[in-house]
Structure 1
Amino acid sequence: MRGSVDLPLALDRAAPVPLAVQLTGQLREGVRTGMLRSGERLPSSRALARLLGVSRTVVTEAFQQLYAEGWLEGHHGSGTYVAHLSGSADRDGAPAARREPPAELDPWGDAERPPAGVIDLRPGRPWVLGYDEGAWRRAWRLAGLRAPAAYVDPYGHPRLRALLAGHLRRARAIPVGPENVMVTRGTGNGLDLVAAALLRPGDGAGVEEPGYRTARHVLAARGGRVTPCPVDEQGVVVDGLPEDLCVLYTTPAHQYPLGGRLPIARRERLLAWARRTGATVLEDDYDGEFRYDVAPLPALYGLDPERVVLLGTLSKSLAPDVGIGWLVAAPALLRKIAAIRRVLGDRTPGPVQEAVSILLERGDLDRHLRRMRLEYARRRAAIVDSLGSRARGDSAGLHVFLGLPAETVGPLVAEAAARGVLLDTTERHHHGPVAAHGLVIGYGSASLADVRKACEIIRDLLGETSG
């Protein structure tokens, strides 16, 4: 911008969309298209408000939202700048080769694979070496016999939808038929499709605080007004939820990242809130297959199929590379999403669907899940035995939460890395001010021996910190 607004900004006071939301969307699009270039300085909120003829509050709200999403950054004492994003235009004005979201949207990408000998206890990845090689090769060999299809069904292959419905009935006791199931490329893809169908610019989109960062980015990219909703040791806090939300994203089976398990009474209150306000609850069942010592609580979708959309994936139970997930919703909403997929050309590759169908049909996936439950249970037990009651949220999933004083988190993570252990923290999972400080310890991708070794290092560091 070089001190003035280079792209046209036009705010419509007669439109139902708030002025701050209009401005947010136009500035965001300016960065995406390269009209606003990385590193360029924006006018002050006062100057921009004067130029647009709006109150300074309108500009301040837009700036705050774009700060939170990562599109803008502040340089102390010098103003507001467009963040350095790989998808914006370069400094000479040449448009970028491709538009990409902020790099933080892919926190566990290939670029961050740990060096050899380093134990990775960051959450989000499963043990991909535990699959049955024979079953895997057989599934792909048989899938290769299927002729390519000329027609792409936006709902997914009918056979796979029926098999996934059966899997959900067995594994999660969800009374669902194939008419309620759509095959997606994973949770992020499913969430994006639902947001495209339900959200209008400026609609309230509730997310857990702290919570899954990708969900925040997806909902914001679809025009949602992201609203952080506090969680406690049991999950999302229902009392006090805003009344103006269009959707609420939540992880009730195993809250990410604090690990809470939403009790049945609170689930009922959450659904009552959704019915009263007309909001849609987006239930992410990302690791619902893995439970330890406790029986699974009924899924929110099973309690109210009209007000809940269930999102699931094989990325945790099999491997992220498979790229298969599912979306369970009322048929009317699925029809709307199917129409959107046709327009966007969004599809789940047919050969992948065929291979997963074979794994389900032959019982190979069920056998794999049983083996992995035992494998993960051993690693979870090693963490609990080593860290004791410090570890919370261990009843399910592939990670635990370890609460710590705020001032000790950074030094402990740095020293653990120096000793060959990579850890994640709750700090980066917050949308606003950090309310819960501590470690998020994932035990999916490390071997049992490495988990035990890493726990000894963490326990020593905790003792040094307390000392």
Structure 2
Amino acid sequence: MDMPPLVLDRATGRPLAVQLADALRTAAAGGVLRPGDRLPSTRELAAALRVSRTVTAAAYDQLVAEGWAEGRRGAGTYVVGLAPAGTAAARRGTPRAAPERPAVDLRAGSPCLEVLDPAAWRRAWRAAGDRPPDPGPEPGADPAFQAAVAEHLLRHRGLPAAPEEVLATGGTSAAVAEVARLLPPGARVGVEDPGYLRAVGALRAAGVEVVPLPVDGDGLVVDAVPPGLAAVYCTPAHQWPLGRRLSAARRVALVARARAEGWWVLEDDYDGELRYDVAPLPLLAALAPDVVVHLGTSSKVLSPTLGVGWLVAPPEVRTAVAAARTATGTRPGRAGQRVLAALATSGDLARHLRRLRRELAHRRALVVDALAGAGVPVTGDPAGAHVLVPLPDRAAEEAVVAAAAARGLAVDGLARHLAGPGPHDPPAGLVLGFAAPARAELRRALPVLAGVLAERGRPASPGGDGPAVASL
């Protein structure tokens, strides 16, 4: 086995054998050496530490006498002593019970892996593996990835971008963090509220002040954007999590203000390919490439396993991002880029998107029909992989989430998507995802959820202690 660093100090006057025994004992107590690990032979260890074999043999004899190790005839010396209870090693060595998973996960944000063709997935990874390894870091992107994304954006999102204008990212949140680090410390960035909290976290971690902005049925309320911002982050094609599109009038107004006031629009197009009522909506980046930083990701249409997204932005932004990557040695991994490029080149990505749209449209219909039968309304555009179930107040929202969990269903309330206190009053509701479970699981779960919503998704009665409760 590979031994941990063992330091012997010849200037202390302590016998080297004692020092070595102490070091090995500490490694075993700390969990670096574990029961069953085979120690090097006394000859090998003596040569590695540049001491006599007498030293290593004496140290091993001491550990055997104490019960930390045992010699096995013809096989060598093995660690047998256990770490004392309560140490970090003991906690690591004792497997923790895995947290109990919900029977069905109806939280939004996960991809629909049931329609991902395993054979296509394997082919893409094999094709990526056929490429030779990179000789050095590349701050921009793999050329094949750039070409694939440029074609994807043109075909599926109507954005004409040259391959060299595409930068690879580690995903939307990583891209938001990179752009935020280009802003001066303390810069103010507006975000939709409710909105995508990982982007909010990335902004705050970069030292940016987050300014919550209200959203309504037409998306981001542009008139509520205060002056003095450095950027506005939004999800115009399918607002996360309310599920509405940014109206045409507000798109024009947002771009006009960005140009007039000198700030960027960070356009998160997390599931823009997944519209199944009309053609995918035009991108803000196509309307105003001079002020819009377009962000895309493979996580919602394929899998977070790839860990890859893309950025198309004005030249000064791309140049600054690439320079920061070169200066810090950071860059997105190339493996995911190559897999996505292979999927696109083979045509498997386009085929997958067609299957995915059909499947999600079918699942959304299942959700709407099941809840409508219980008298529960559903809002949100026919797009993506989630809907919003409006609820009368926060108490009803909390009651629904808790009651669903008691029945084995994991669901999210809108409260979990709030950026923080703000001047507006965000609505209450349930953000219901339908992509993660298998279709059979979804069918079983929907009647249960409909019952929970019918019982608990209404306001508390006047003078009562909470929502009316009925047993399922």
Give TM-score, length-normalised by structure 1.
0.73
User: Match for residue 184 of structure 1?
Assistant: 169
CA displacement at 1:436 relative to structure 2? 1.2
CA displacement at 1:395 relative to structure 2? 1.8
CA displacement at 1:348 relative to structure 2? 2.2
Q: Deviations over 1:12-66 (max 9, x none)?
A: xxxxxxxxxxxxxxxxxxxxxxxxxxxxxxxxxxxxxxxxxxxxxxxxxxxxxxx
Q: Which letter maps to 1:446? A: P
Task: Kindly indicate whether residue 442 of structure 2 is the aligned counterpart of residue 455 of structure 1.
Answer: no
Task: Kindly indicate whether residue 432 of structure 2 is the aligned counterpart of residue 441 of structure 1.
Answer: yes
In structure 2, C-alpha distance between the alignment counterparts of 1:188 and 1:344, rounded to whole Å? 18
In structure 2, C-alpha distance between the alignment counterparts of 1:418 and 1:240, rounded to whole Å? 39
Q: Which moved more, 1:438-447 or 1:388-397?
A: 388-397
User: Match for residue 141 of structure 2?
Assistant: 156
Q: Deviations over 1:150-174 (max 9, x none)?
A: 1222110122101100100001111
In structure 1, C-alpha distance between the alignment counterparts of 2:335 and 2:404, rounded to whole Å? 42
User: Match for residue 200 of structure 1?
Assistant: 184
For the 8 Å contact 2:108–2:434, the answer to whether it is kept is yes
Task: Kindly indicate whether residue 400 of structure 2 is the aligned counterpart of residue 412 of structure 1.
Answer: yes
For the 8 Å contact 2:230–2:263, the answer to whether it is kept is yes
Task: Kindly indicate whether residue 166 of structure 2 is the aligned counterpart of residue 175 of structure 1.
Answer: no
User: Match for residue 421 of structure 1?
Assistant: 409
Q: Which letter maps to 2:253? A: R
Relative to structure 1, the CA distance from residue 113 to residue 172 in structure 2 (aligned partners, 3 Å threshold; closer, same or farther) is farther
User: Match for residue 291 of structure 2?
Assistant: 307
Task: Kindly indicate whether residue 64 of structure 2 is the aligned counterpart of residue 115 of structure 1.
Answer: no
Q: Which moved more, 1:345-354 or 1:335-344?
A: 345-354
For the 8 Å contact 1:264–1:297, the answer to whether it is kept is no
Which residues of structure 1 form unaligned runs of 5+?
1-110
User: Match for residue 241 of structure 1?
Assistant: 225
Q: Which letter maps to 2:445? A: A
CA displacement at 1:193 relative to structure 2? 1.1
For the 8 Å contact 2:218–2:247, the answer to whether it is kept is yes
Task: Kindly indicate whether residue 344 of structure 2 is the aligned counterpart of residue 367 of structure 1.
Answer: no
User: Match for residue 255 of structure 2?
Assistant: 271
Aligned ranges for residues 327-346 of structure 1 at < 5 Å? 327-346=311-330
In structure 2, C-alpha distance between the alignment counterparts of 1:335 and 1:456, rounded to whole Å? 52
For the 8 Å contact 1:280–1:308, the answer to whether it is kept is yes
In structure 1, C-alpha distance between the alignment counterparts of 2:344 and 2:302, rounded to whole Å? 12
For the 8 Å contact 2:391–2:428, the answer to whether it is kept is yes
Relative to structure 1, the CA distance from residue 419 to residue 334 in structure 2 (aligned partners, 3 Å threshold; closer, same or farther) is same
Q: Secondary structure at the match of 2:449?
A: helix
Q: Secondary structure at the match of 1:379?
A: helix
Q: Which letter maps to 1:422? A: A
User: Match for residue 267 of structure 2?
Assistant: 283
Relative to structure 1, the CA distance from residue 112 to residue 233 in structure 2 (aligned partners, 3 Å threshold; closer, same or farther) is farther
For the 8 Å contact 2:145–2:340, the answer to whether it is kept is yes
User: Match for residue 323 of structure 1?
Assistant: 307
CA displacement at 1:248 relative to structure 2? 0.5
CA displacement at 1:265 relative to structure 2? 1.2
In structure 2, C-alpha distance between the alignment counterparts of 1:176 and 1:387, rounded to whole Å? 42
CA displacement at 1:344 relative to structure 2? 2.0
User: Match for residue 361 of structure 2?
Assistant: 377
Aligned ranges for residues 36-75 of structure 1 at < 5 Å? none
Q: Which moved more, 1:287-296 or 1:231-240?
A: 287-296
Q: Deviations over 1:187-241 (max 9, x none)?
A: 11111111112x1111111111111111111111112111001101221100121
User: Match for residue 151 of structure 2?
Assistant: 166
Q: Secondary structure at the match of 2:230?
A: strand
- Over the matched positions of the two proteins, sequence identity in percent amounts to 47
- Taking only aligned residues, the RMSD between alpha carbons, in angstroms, comes to 1.8
Which residues of structure 2 form unaligned runs of 5+?
1-96, 459-467
CA displacement at 1:412 relative to structure 2? 1.4
In structure 1, C-alpha distance between the alignment counterparts of 2:100 and 2:305, rounded to whole Å? 18
For the 8 Å contact 2:174–2:202, the answer to whether it is kept is no
User: Match for residue 400 of structure 1?
Assistant: 387
Q: Secondary structure at the match of 2:181?
A: helix
For the 8 Å contact 1:401–1:441, the answer to whether it is kept is yes
Relative to structure 1, the CA distance from residue 436 to residue 207 in structure 2 (aligned partners, 3 Å threshold; closer, same or farther) is same
Larger Rg: 2
Q: Which letter maps to 1:314? A: S
Q: Which letter maps to 2:157? A: R
Q: Which letter maps to 2:413? A: T
Q: Secondary structure at the match of 1:281?
A: strand
**How many residue pairs were aligned?**
356
In structure 2, C-alpha distance between the alignment counterparts of 1:112 and 1:275, rounded to whole Å? 51
Relative to structure 1, the CA distance from residue 396 to residue 347 in structure 2 (aligned partners, 3 Å threshold; closer, same or farther) is same
CA displacement at 1:112 relative to structure 2? 9.1
CA displacement at 1:417 relative to structure 2? 1.0
Relative to structure 1, the CA distance from residue 462 to residue 273 in structure 2 (aligned partners, 3 Å threshold; closer, same or farther) is same
Relative to structure 1, the CA distance from residue 403 to residue 267 in structure 2 (aligned partners, 3 Å threshold; closer, same or farther) is same
CA displacement at 1:341 relative to structure 2? 0.8
CA displacement at 1:330 relative to structure 2? 1.6
Give TM-score, length-normalised by structure 2.
0.73
Q: Deviations over 1:95-143 (max 9, x none)?
A: xxxxxxxxxxxxxxxx997626x11000110122322222222222222
